[in-house]
Each structure stands twice: as structure tokens, then as C-alpha cells.
Amino acid sequence: MTTITHINTNIDIATTEALSMQGLYGVIQSAFPKDPNTTVIGISIPILGINCKETGIISPIDDFKEAVSRIFNDAMGAIFKPIWQVLVDLANVLGLGLLDEKLPILDLSIGDLFSRDLFDNLLTIVTRLYNTAKEQLQQILSILGIPTPFFTEIVSPEKEIYYIVKTILGSLWDTIIKKIKSYIDMILTALKIYDAINQTGFSITWEAAITAILERILSYLALPPSLQDVVDLIKLYVKQVLGYAEATYGQIMSIIENFTMPVFGKPFDWLLPLNPKTIAPNIDFIKLISDIKLWLTNFIAGLIQKFIDAVLSVLQFFGITFEWVKINVPIKLCVIQTIPAR
């Protein structure tokens, strides 16, 4: 029986710096042992509930890249949490009514987005709905702008459930983005009233920051691009490149490297193919569009961060302080020893 051992390492992420999925993957790879008789077969991230696979199909490349997506999503929480808190605090100070913190599905709230247990909780709920109430599950996907049916060429319920959960998790960030936009607008109105009374000019600072930093994505703050929007744009791109609308997953993945979106540019940083050792364009497509959704969220979050930095003087005047956090993700590489041939 082969014994699995672990190599401990860490990933440190400064949330003020640009995040890259391919970059995070490279950091993990750099921790691989150099011993040719030691083979890495998986990854364990206890704080995210990720464990090394010991049964079924073990595909280290796929597992590592899915782990990176989960780390990336976790970083979204670390970015959005202080943004959300300073806007709530400022709204409170200005005497504004606070926005409803409920998410559009499953009685979840904004606070749940910052929980590292959310993926596992969603997995339990989605598994139950998948097996007992598919119509209700389809309604949830529709509310979040996730295409249905989600898979057309896959007959693995386990894989389908996993990627449904992943896309739900990524799509829930749209709610906080919309509410952040509402807070920014509400606070601007309140600051204009405050300025009229106190002659401070805070609304000028606030509005100038909106114009300088957020103006080109204001429509995306009000209505972030859904997964369905991404798929529709990819279909349009495929038609432009190939000359016809209907294409196989293989054809789509062969040309998607040059896919771009208005404002955002190329919306992913993975090097393709995702897994050079397997040919599964249908699964690769699902993985990629799920990660595109996260990438778009991070793009928007990064600009909101810059906006918050630009209005720091306003926040400080009203006694609101905060700091951008760094997160540390302890990981374990799961390895086995191989016996060299004699």
C-alpha cells in the first residue's frame, strides 16, 4: 500500500496587489519537491475544506487548478469585506438607512460571502436540490444568470454538482457589487447635502474619484456581467471567428485564447490548455467560464479598492479607519515516494 505524506507550505496574498490564477498556480508549483523519487499527487487546504483525493480519478493538475480557483475566491472575500464595512460605517455616520444584506437565494446574507464554509454549505444544499428538487435549483441558477442546462455532454452528477456550486459561489459576488454601487451613490447624495451646510467639499472629492476610477465600469457595478453574459459573448466571438454560431467545445477551446470582452480585455490569465495531459474540452469550457466570472469580479473589486483609497480623506474625517489585509493560506502537498527502477 502506497503511503501518502505531506509537505507543508504557505501562500501569502497581499490583497492590494493584482491577483493571478496562473501566478498562484506557479507559486504552488514552486513548492514541489525536487526529489525525482517524490511525486505530488494532490493538494490539501484545510481552511477551505479541500482534501487530497485518495480514491476515484486523481488528476493533480485539475485538482491544483481548482484549488487555485478556491483560493482566488477566498481572496475576493478579503478584498470586499473592508470595502463593505467602510461604506456601511460611513452610511451610518451620515445617518443613511442601511441596505438589506440578504442575498437573492437560500436565505444567505452578505456576511455569508466572507465565510470559508460557504462552499461546503452550498455543496450540501445543491446536492439535496439536485437529487430532490431540480426545478428549484434551476430557478436559483436563473436568478443568478447561470446558463441552464449547465452541462450538455457530461453524465457525471458529481462533476455537475461541483461546478454548479462553483458558479453559484462566484455569481453571488454580483450582489455585493450592486449594493456597493448603491452605497456609493447614496453617500454622494448625503455628502452634497453635508457640503451645502458645512462648505467642506467632500462631495467633490467623492464624485471626482467616481469619475476618475469607476466611470468606465459604472454600468457593470449596477449590473455585473453574469455567466450567461459571458457565454453569450463567447458565442458571438465564435461566430465572428468561425463564421457560424454552433461550434463544438473542442472548436471553442481551440480559439478562446484570443477572446476579449469590452472594457475588461482578455478576462482570464490561465495558460491554455488547462490540462495538457487530458482532452476534455467540454469540461475545460465549464472550468474556464467559471474562472472568467471570478476574474471579472476581481477586476471590478480592484477598481473599487482604488476608489476607496482615493476617498481616504473623507473616510478619515468621519473617523473611519481600515487597512487592506494580507491573507495567508497554509497548504499541504500530498506526495508519494516512488521506487526507482533497478
List, for residues 2-41, the tens digit of each pLDDT value. 678 889 999 999 988 888 999 999 999 999 988 888 889 9
Q: Are 270 and 288 in contact (CB under 8 A)?
A: yes
Render pLDDT for 256-314 as a digit per residue (tens, 0 to 9): 999 999 999 999 999 999 998 888 898 899 999 999 999 999 999 999 999 999 999 99
Check residue 27 and give its pLDDT: 92
Check residue 154 and give its pLDDT: 64
Q: Say if 248 falls within a structural domain.
A: yes
Q: Mean pLDDT, the chain, as a whole number?
A: 92
Q: What is the dihedral of CA 159, 70, 43, 287, to 10 degrees?
A: 40
Q: Say if 315 falls within a structural domain.
A: yes
Residue 172 has pLDDT above 60, yes or no: yes
Query: Which of 1-15, 121-135, 238-252 comes out lowest in average pLDDT?
Result: 1-15
Which DSSP string do the residues of 220-237 spell out, in sequence order?
Answer: HHHSPPPHHHHHHHHHHH
- CA angle centred on 172, ends 168 and 175, rounded to 5°: 155
For 212, the grid coordinates are 476618475
Q: Say if 238 falls within a structural domain.
A: yes
Check residue 96 and give its pLDDT: 94
Grouping H, G, I as helix, E, B as strand and the rest as coil, residue 271 is coil
Summarize the confidence of residues 318-329 as an average pLDDT.
92
Which residue range is the domain that position 321 belongs to?
5-337
- Number of domains making up the chain: 1
Q: Say if 342 falls within a structural domain.
A: no
Q: What is the dihedral of CA 210, 211, 213, 218, to 10 degrees?
A: 70
**Residues 6+ away with beta carbon under 8 Å from 68:** 21, 24, 25, 28
Strands 38-44 and 5-14: what pairing? Answer: unpaired
Q: Are 214 and 303 in contact (CB under 8 A)?
A: yes
Render pLDDT for 43-100 as a digit per residue (tens, 0 to 9): 999 999 999 887 666 788 999 999 999 999 999 999 999 999 999 999 999 999 899 9
